[in-house]
Chain A
């Protein structure tokens, strides 16, 4: 069994980390120790295996997989706080209805709505204008709807007429087919009748030809 010190020396020997004196001492020990020789061979086998490894190329893959949708690494720095502050300021300006005005006197910032300053006449005019616009929009929409409805009705009527025409054509076809069938059946019956008449005539003719034979012969002994 090898001691840990000896194993350490073995690895140091492999890595070429031993001093010349230690190296020669280890090599001397190595010559007389079969177990140490085997351990060195095993270690060299691993070393050889590592140097024999041929790098395998990486197959094509998406280097950004999971990155775009995953948790992005974020460092909270000055810029982050700055952008947060700017966002907050923007929200507050909207909430307080800030108004920037530039006049001859300079730049002015006002908060709050100024709807109270609108006069009743102006409001009335605005209302009328809005109503007119609303009516225009409504009329326009109604016209469009009417046009659409008319076009739809036309399409519906054309489809119904077409369907009706096709249905009538089908009826006529089936009627013609049934007539044709009845006619052929009647013709067959007429031919059957003709055949039976012909047979009857033949039978009657044969009967007439055989009639003298069938008539009873007068008895010569019988007086008239």
Chain B
């Protein structure tokens, strides 16, 4: 039976200059970060950039990781904050103000379209209605199953603010449900 190396051991080896250990650590969490980045950006190329930026930031801050929380939680905090910054930056760009979700995902190209199921596309369309802050809370609450205290800690906001953002996201979904119901 193969025994997996713990995150802490891989971090220690990476800090010692082992690229192999770093590569292993990234390989362990890249899918999680990439999928989170896709949900946050709704764009495959942007998600790729964001994932690379996140891991680079993690690498540079690795000496500051004290091990007081779990590594995935620490990684998730960096990833989510990077993605919020990314969203805010992109929102300032006029060309990204109103773009079709398929266009964002690069689904015009058949090669890129492979791997995006209809279910995922529907999820992304739902997420597309939210602001970056609301999306971050929904991501952490429903996709990462964090508690409000965790969400507050990760985003550096109060627990009440996290709750109000989530309720706003629920209201949006509720209104959308009403609109869809009215159209039917």
Contacts and interface: CB of A to CB of B under 8 A. Distances in A.
Contacts of A53: 35, 39, 119-120, 123, 143
The dominant DSSP class at the A interface is: loop
Nearest to B32: A55
Listed from nearest, the 9 A-B pairs whose CB atoms lie closest are A42-B173, A50-B142, A42-B174, A73-B62, A63-B26, A49-B123, A58-B34, A63-B23, A73-B63
Contacts of B26: 63
B116 interface: yes
A39 B174 contact: yes
A43 B55 contact: no
A45 interface: yes
B138 A54 contact: no
A43 B170 CA distance: 6
Interface of A: 4, 7-8, 11, 38-39, 41-43, 45-47, 49-50, 52-59, 61, 63-68, 70-75
Interface in B132-181: 138, 141-143, 163, 166-167, 169-171, 173-174, 177-178
Q: Which of B15, B26, B27, B167 neighbours the largest number of chain A CB atoms within 10 Å of its CB?
A: B167
Contacts of B15: 73-75
A67 B63 contact: no
A219 B87 CA distance: 137
B31 A67 contact: no
B39 to A, nearest CB: 8
A7 B48 contact: no
Interface residues of B, number: 47
A164 B24 CA distance: 72
A67 B138 contact: no
Nearest to B45: A59
B184 to A, nearest CB: 15
A70 B56 contact: yes
A39 B170 contact: yes
Nearest to B173: A42
B94 interface: no
Nearest to A72: B17
Contacts of A63: 22-23, 26-27, 30, 55
A197 B62 CA distance: 114
A53 B26 CA distance: 22
A8 B22 contact: no
Contacts of B70: none
Interface centre among A43, A52, A53, A73 (most CB of B within 10 A): A73
Contact of A61 (B48, B122, B174): B48
A62 to B, nearest CB: 9
21 contacts: A38-B174, A41-B177, A42-B170, A49-B122, A52-B120, A53-B39, A54-B120, A56-B35, A56-B38, A56-B115, A59-B48, A64-B22, A67-B19, A67-B56, A67-B59, A68-B19, A71-B60, A72-B17, A73-B61, A73-B62, A75-B63
A46 B142 contact: yes
Most B-side CB within 10 Å, residue of A4, A39, A53, A59 = A53
Contact of B59 (A7, A43, A73): A73
A205 B115 CA distance: 109
B117 interface: yes
Given A55-B35, A57-B115, A66-B52, A49 B170 contact: no
Contact of A67 (B22, B30, B171): B22
